[in-house]
Amino acid sequence: MKKLVVVFVLLFCSFTSFAQEVTTYYLIRHAEKDRSDKTNSNPELTDLGHQRALRWSSVFENVTFDAVYSTNYLRTIATAKPTASAKGLEIQFYNPRELYSKDFQQETLGKTVLVVGHSNTTPQFVNAILGIDRYTDIQDNNNANLYIVTGIKEETTSVLLKID
């Protein structure tokens, strides 16, 4: 059922792109990180996290990405890597303290982009794109949120899916 919803959303985005220039962002939080060392501020993914990263790649199998962005942390890079590799794209880095900057907006205009972030930055990024505070921080045990934000001219919409 969840895959059917994703396919429907992807088809909708594809059909609307024929009419006008469309910018579409797929935003996810990194997969499950290793929490065994509380002093490690840059942990790797757990085995479960690596499995989720591969599942994300499968979810995005029919999406034609123009770019894949990640923060420069091991867990976000490892989450983005299977999708970037499958699409033949290099991972580009963004600063989580400068979400949706003018440069980022210009670089991604009219493109379809994957953005991998964190429990607090991902919803903030979506809110910055939308220009409103719609989404709150992701619960620490939730690595399944998929935000899809589509912009056509001045009109921007979003949908939140949970893909376990």
Query: What Å distances lie between residue 58 and 76, 86, 125, CA to CA?
Result: 17, 9, 24
Paired strand residues for 146: 28, 161
The residue ranges of every structural domain in the chain are 2-10+20-162
The SS3 of residue 50 is: helix
pLDDT per residue, tens digit, the chain (164 aa), is 555 455 445 555 555 445 579 999 999 999 999 999 999 999 999 999 999 999 999 999 999 999 999 999 999 999 999 999 999 999 999 999 999 999 999 999 999 999 999 999 999 999 999 999 999 999 999 999 999 999 998 899 999 999 98
State whether CATH 3.30.413.10 applies to domain 2-10+20-162. Answer: no
Question: CA 101 to CA 80: how far, in whole Å?
Answer: 20
Question: CA 92 to CA 145: how far, in whole Å?
Answer: 21
pLDDT of residue 153: 87
Read off the pTM. 0.88
pLDDT of residue 19: 53
